[in-house]
Structure formats: structure tokens, C-alpha cells
Amino acid sequence: MTRIEDIRCVLVVGAGTMGQEIGLQCAMYGYKVTIYDIATEALENAAIQQEAVLKRFVAGGKLSQEQAEAVRSRIVTTRDPGEAAATADLLIEAVPENPELKARVFAQFNGLCPPRTVFTTNTSSLIPSMIADASGRPAQFAAFHFHHEVWISNVVDIMPHAGTSEETVQLLHAFARRIGQIPIVLKKENHGYVFNAMFNELNTAAVSLAANGIASIEDVDRAWMGVMKMPMGPFGWLDGIGLDTCWEITQYWATRLGDKRLQKNASFLKGYVDRGFLGAKRGRGFYTYPDPLYGRPGFLTGEANPGVAS
């Protein structure tokens, strides 16, 4: 069984927002990181985004220039799955929320990774038993779910399935602590984990209010921000997650459950996705970035200039 001391090389499969962040977090804590993706553009964008974060950390005093350079040196990217898998001690999958896609990814890497490699999924809404068999090593497989931004919202959910070994759970618990995270171990499988289970209910309600024409995007956020004294509301958060991800999750559950409310929400989100309004990562979602309306003086009182995408 792999011990915490044996974890030296982390393979992150998927170079999207969460894959970028997870890889950078591991590298900042001394681990060698390989980020794999099938798309060159995704890998190039990951490097750009990680560099921007490192520059921000240096400017803010979180890292010295020398430390930032050391972090960069520990991260490599590749489109070659065999190269990615060769030295992996821990695999963290962060591909889109599609169970068939995730199953194919794990089946592929099961044939490429050493027997010692522990497999994990960062899925935000699925449960590990849905893809455990496809992993080919169910005892060494569990959900390992991070939150955006990883270095700020530093809680990680560890969700075993019925076949996950206790040793794997303990290993992931120890690894989470080693990379500056607060580990939460679920006692049973639950779609949405802990925080997301609460957060998803809020987001569903918020999107429904706008999708049904009950309140504007701005006023939904004003209501939350004004009462809870938060720096942003649900639509600002969704922009941070990525509207493509939000749509994929909503569409999946709308189809699976036949839920008309979720179907209407998915259609509402798809309208933004189809126009390329994917959130903060693309400069436009419900709001425009890098200067979103909700962050401007006067937003709560309605005095800020319009800036919501419509």
C-alpha cells in the first residue's frame, strides 16, 4: 500500500480551472506535478493562468521570487498519456462532469499507471461508485474534491465508496493536510458532498429567480450581499466556477431526474454558454471582468453603471 511518504509525483488529468489550481497547490507544497490534457490550448492556458497566480503571490508577499521559480520548475505539462502516467503516485482527475468521459479516462490510465498509483476524482456532483469499477482499482479509488480557489477555500472533501480501502482514505486525509487543505471525510456517498450540497441549493434558487423573470441577476445578488454582508452574490460565484461547468451539471441532473425546474435553469444557462459568456475566465459571464459590476462602489444601492451581460 502506498504511504504518504511515497507520494512524490502528482498527475492532474484535465487542465481546466480546477486542474490548474490543484496542480499549482501541490507544486507550492513541494510535489512534482504533471498536468495532462488532450488539448494543447488548454495546457497553454493553464500555464498562463498559473503564472498570473504566482505573480500575484509574489506581489502580495505570499511567495518570494525564488520560491515562485521553484514552484514553476516542479510543474510539467503533456499531451502524452503514457508520459503523464509513468511516474504518477497519485492521480487527480479534473475533467468535465460527464460520468462516461470520466470512466473512459480512468480505464485508460489504469492501463498506463503503475499499480501503486492511487486514483481520485475531483467531481463536484457525481459519486465515486458510479465510476469505481472503470478505475480498475476500486480499493485505491475515492472522490477527492477541492473548492475554487484552492488556496483560499481550502477545504477538500474525501468521499469513499463502499469498496474504498481505509488505507486509501487515511492516505488522502494525510495528503490533504500536506498541501494546506482542511480534509472532510464523508461517512457515506452524497451527491454534492457537504458544502456543495448547501451551495447548489442556493444557486438553483438564484438561477430559478432569474430564469423565471422574478428578479434581475443584479437584484438577486444584491439581496444576498445586502443581507449576508458578502462581497458577491450567487451569480458572481457562478461566474467564478464557469458557466459551462454550471450548465453541464444542471443539464445532467435535469435530464437524469426529469426535473422541469432544472431544465428551465439549464436552458437559461445555455443561453450564456452559446454566446461564449463562460464567466470570469473568459472575461464575461453574468458580469464583465476584470471589473465586475458587483465589485463597484454603489452596486448595492443601484448607483453603479450597468455591467451585466444580457
pLDDT digits (tens, 9 = 90+) for 180-207: 999 999 999 998 899 989 998 999 999 9
Whole-angstrom CA distances from 107 to 77, 132, 133, 138, 141 are 21, 10, 9, 11, 12
Burial class (CB in 10 A: 0-12, 13-18, 19+), 206: buried
What DSSP designation does 294 have? Answer: G
Please, are residues 155 and 124 in contact by the beta-carbon 8 Å criterion?
no
Question: With bands split at pLDDT 50, 70 and 90, how would you rate the model's confidence at 124?
Answer: confident
H or E segment to which residue 68 belongs: helix 65-73
Q: Which domains does the chain have, with CATH numbers?
A: 4-185 (3.40.50.720), 200-295 (1.10.1040.10)
Burial class (CB in 10 A: 0-12, 13-18, 19+), 291: exposed
With 80 as the cut, is the pLDDT of residue 278 above it?
yes
Q: Minimal CA–CA distance to 50: which of 178, 151, 182?
A: 151
Instruction: Fill in the amino acid letter for 222.
Output: R
With 70 as the cut, is the pLDDT of residue 305 above it?
no
pLDDT digits (tens, 9 = 90+) for 74-87: 999 999 999 999 99
pLDDT digits (tens, 9 = 90+) for 246-259: 999 899 899 999 99
- What is residue 306's predicted lDDT score, i.e. its pLDDT? 57
What is the average pLDDT value for the chain, to the nearest integer? 95
Residue 250 neighbours by CB distance under 10 Å: 27
With 70 as the cut, is the pLDDT of residue 308 above it?
no
